[in-house]
Chains A and B, each alone.
Chain A
Amino acid sequence: KAGVTQTPRYLIKTRGQQVTLSCSPISGHRSVSWYQQTPGQGLQFLFEYFSETQRNKGNFPGRFSGRQFSNSRSEMNVSTLELGDSALYLCASSGAGTDYGYTFGSGTRLTVV
């Protein structure tokens, strides 16, 4: 079955612009989480959605937002981009039960110039 799909794979934006990233989870998975990955910082939790509701939010400024649609697809938006927002943004989906872990997408590599 299809995995987690993230689009676009690569993105270059200018400071001050905004960006929207998309994530399509595995069919049947209703939980979608977003992480920011930068060298030396590991994966930092952004937010998690379940059935269109934000369940959890990490310690990121309000410029980072997200949403989930009725088909479980999710988007995250970053407004007023800063150089420090350059990172790999990973989306992960999970089904019922924590034993199965997360399935990650390949990520969107965002470069802010």
Chain B
Amino acid sequence: GQSLEQPSEVTAVEGAIVQINCTYQTSGFYGLSWYQQHDGGAPTFLSYNALDGLEETGRFSSFLSRSDSYGYLLLQELQMKDSASYFCAVRDRDDKIIFGKGTRLHILP
């Protein structure tokens, strides 16, 4: 079956750096995406990696290793507003986007 594994919860301190990992097992792979969802809100697109390496967008970076079927989202200079759930997602060979169950990020002041 297809699966994306990510930690259910992560806690970090305001101003620090946190990494949220995602490993995937899917039929085909056409890119790893990350989404952020605040409580009561809609998921919003953060980043997309089609090739190995690091993509940086401001305080957020996303990394992909296709040989390891692994990626991560790195959040720097954490702010309280970053408290949210983060989902990794993979586009499979049928062109469906499959989401992980999400990682709830708690930020302590």
Contact = CB atoms under 8 A, between A and B. Distances in A.
Interface of A: 4, 33, 35, 40-45, 48, 55-56, 58, 90, 92, 98-107
A107 B79 CA distance: 26
Contacts of A44: 99
A106 B94 contact: no
Contacts of B95: 48, 55-56
B48 A43 contact: no
Contacts of A55: 95
Contacts of B42: 4, 90, 104-107
Given A42-B102, A43-B87, A99 B48 contact: yes
Interface residues of B, number: 22
Given A40-B101, A42-B102, A98-B91, A103 B96 contact: no
Contacts, number: 55
A4 B41 CA distance: 13
B35 interface: yes
B84 interface: no
Interface of B: 30-31, 33, 35, 41-45, 48, 50, 87, 91, 94-102
B67 to A, nearest CB: 21
B45 A103 contact: yes
B75 to A, nearest CB: 18
